[in-house]
Amino acid sequence: MNRPKQLNALSGDLMGAVVGALQELDADPEIRAIVLGGGERAFAAGADITELAAGTPVSLYENRRIDEWDKIRGLRTPVVAAVSGFCLGGGCELAMLCDLIVASETAKFGQPEINLGVLPGAGGTQRLTRAVGKAIAMDMILTGRMIGAREALGLGLVARVVAKEAWLDEAKRVAGEIAAKGPIAVRLAKEAVDQAFEAPLSVGVEFERRAFYLARASEDATEGLTAFVEKRPPDFKGR
C-alpha cells in the first residue's frame, strides 16, 4: 500500500486496489505466498476518516465497501502482513485478515475507532478478541489504547517481531519459506487453521482429517515422504 501522505488511510479506492491485487495474485498458480505491506511509518492508519465523515449510513450500506473485505478471507494463497509503524483501526483489521503478521519493533497496533464515536466495523471486535482474549480486546477497543510490537507478540497477535530495518525482508523471507513447501498441503493447512475460528472443535478436527487425506493423495506428499526416507530435499511440483 502506497498512500504515504495519509499514512495509507484505507480509502475505497485503496481497498479496491488491495482486494483486486490480492485476488489477481491468488488466481495465479505460480504464486505460492503473498506479502502485503505498507510503508515504514504506517502499514495503514485505518479507514479513510475523511471518506467516513462524508459518507452516510445508507451510502456505506449501499456501496457494500466493507463487504469487499470479506474477499480476503476467501483467498487460498497464504498472505503475510508486513507491518511497520501504525496499524490502526481498519489497518489492524486488514492485518488480522492476513494469515500471519511479521512486525517491525516500531509497529503500533490499535482499534482507536472509539475516539471517533464509532467502533471497529471490519471484524475488529471479533478477530482481535479471538487473537488476544476478551480482557485486552475490551481494553484496546473501549479505551483506544495502542500496543507495541513486543506486547502484540506476547499476546499472540503477531507471529514475529524484528528490528526496524528488517521488517520487509523478514516478511518476504517467511513468505519465501512458505512458498518452498508443497502448495497443496500449504493451502489445505491454511484452510484447516481457519476452521479453528469458524467451526466447533469436532467439525474442525473432521475437516482437518479430510484435508490430511486429500493432501496425502497429492504427488507432493509422496515426494515429501519419499525424500525424507531417501535423505534428500523434496522437489514439490504442486500436484
- Of the candidates 90, 182, 183, 234, which one interacts with ligand CO8 according to CB under 6 A? 90
184: contact with ligand CO8 by CB under 6 A: no
16-45: which residues touch ligand CO8 (CB under 6 A)?
Answer: 45
* Residue linked to cell 495502542: 146
126: contact with ligand CO8 by CB under 6 A: no
Rounded to 5°, the CA angle 99-127-114 comes to 130
- Of the candidates 19, 80, 84, 86, which one interacts with ligand CO8 according to CB under 6 A? 86
- Of the candidates 35, 47, 178, 189, which one interacts with ligand CO8 according to CB under 6 A? 47
116: contact with ligand CO8 by CB under 6 A: yes
Nearest-angstrom CA–CA distance, 150 and 103: 9
Note if 93 is an active site residue. Answer: yes
Nearest-angstrom CA–CA distance, 84 and 16: 22
Q: Which position among 45, 46, 81, 93 bears the catalytic label? A: 93
Nearest-angstrom CA–CA distance, 103 and 37: 10
Nearest-angstrom CA–CA distance, 173 and 239: 24
* Residue linked to cell 475516539: 115
Residues taking part in catalysis: 47, 90, 93, 113
Residues that bind ligand CO8 (CB under 6 A): 6-7, 9, 45-50, 65-66, 86, 88-90, 112-113, 116, 120-122
